[in-house]
Amino acid sequence: MLKKIRIWDLPTRLFHWLFAFAVLGAIITDLLEEIEWHSYCGYTALVLVIFRIIWGFVGPYNARFSSFIPSFKELKQFLKDHQVQHLGHNPLGAFSVIGILLIVLVQASAGLFTDDDVSFQGPLAQYVSEDIVKLMNWIHETNHWLVYGIVLLHLGAIFYYQRVKKENLIGPMIHGDKDVGADKTIPVLETVTSKDDAKIRGLAVVIVIVLAVLFRYYVLK
Ligand code: HEM
Ligand code: HEM
């Protein structure tokens, strides 16, 4: 029998699409040399990434790092035997999620200390030495290749699952649900529903508001 299971709670889904928009926005505004807008996209991505890290500890089941970061044994098992359906992120997906979050965290944090020597200075550049600003410029410049790489890898992997493996991952990231039990020959691991009620959504709103206020007063003062 087909059963719908809530995989991605609303805060995780909203996080995903806003985050994608902010990171792609930072890339596009850089190409257009709109540095002011570039910084706004970067600030948004940074606050969202910090939210997602917190959500990885306090959010519902499938959003939690502990539910999807695999042990070495689980990864080996996954690579050997693909015939197990993972409802949340699979072990390889888990590494790419952690990779994206860390790479964007480094990129946006370094951005706060950059100085383009022409018209723009990151909001924290004035508090550190010239050497640190140089180092952060270098990190921001070098790490952007990792941002490009991981975004391309992510889009490629989603395309592969969608077109080649015929597994729809995009739908659940929009409406939140996955159907379980359509193919009885594939065993499903851990059919745990993610809580997605008003209380958990309210908690996400509180976390985002607190982060935005702290960011406004401590970073953009
Ligand atoms: C998602 C976050 C971000 C991404 C993906 C991103 C991406 C980029 C990329 C691709 C470049 C061009 C690098 C190059 O061609 O060498 C760049 C330059 C720059 N970014 Fe970011 N950035 C982010 C966040 C930020 C933030 C938060 C700030 C500051 C508030 C910032 C300030 C700058 C500045 C000032 C430059 C020009 C550096 C120069 O020309 O010397 N960025 N960024
Ligand atoms: C517009 C094109 C995009 C599509 C269609 C898309 C689709 C998806 C899908 C389907 C998932 C869930 C994967 C799974 O089931 O394991 C996912 C996860 C994720 N994507 Fe994207 N994505 C897009 C763009 C981006 C961009 C530009 C970024 C930022 C670099 C990004 C960052 C992430 C992150 C961090 C996750 C993990 C979500 C979480 O657990 O919170 N995505 N994406």
What CATH number should be reported for the domain holding residue 194?
1.20.950.20
Q: Whose CA is nearest to atom 11 of ligand 1?
A: 30
User: What pLDDT does 79 receive?
Assistant: 84
- The values of phi and psi at residue 2, to 5°, are -75, 135
Q: Name the domain count of the chain.
A: 1
Domain region containing 156:
3-218
Write the DSSP symbol of residue 181.
S
Residue type, 148: Y
What is the residue type of 79? L
Residue 180's pLDDT is what? 81
Which one of the ligands is nearest to 100 CA?
2
Count how many Cα atoms sit within 13 Å of the Cα of residue 194 in the half-sphere of its side chain. 31
Query: Mutation test of ligand 2: which of 62, 154, 190 has the most ligand atoms closer than 8 Å to its C-beta?
Result: 154
Q: What's the pLDDT at 182?
A: 62
The closest residue, in CA terms, to atom 14 on ligand 2 is 89
pLDDT for the residue numbered 6: 95
Distance CA 93, CA 97 (A): 6
Output the pTM of the full model: 0.94
Per-residue pLDDT of the chain (221 residues; tens, 9 = 90+): 678 899 999 999 999 999 999 999 999 999 999 999 999 999 999 999 999 999 999 999 999 999 999 988 888 888 887 666 678 899 989 999 999 999 999 999 999 999 998 889 999 999 999 999 999 999 999 999 999 999 999 999 999 999 999 989 999 999 999 988 765 555 566 678 899 999 999 999 999 999 999 999 999 98
**Hey, CA dihedral for 203, 207, 212, 217, is it positive or negative?**
positive
Which ligand has its closest atom nearest to the C-alpha of 49?
A: 2
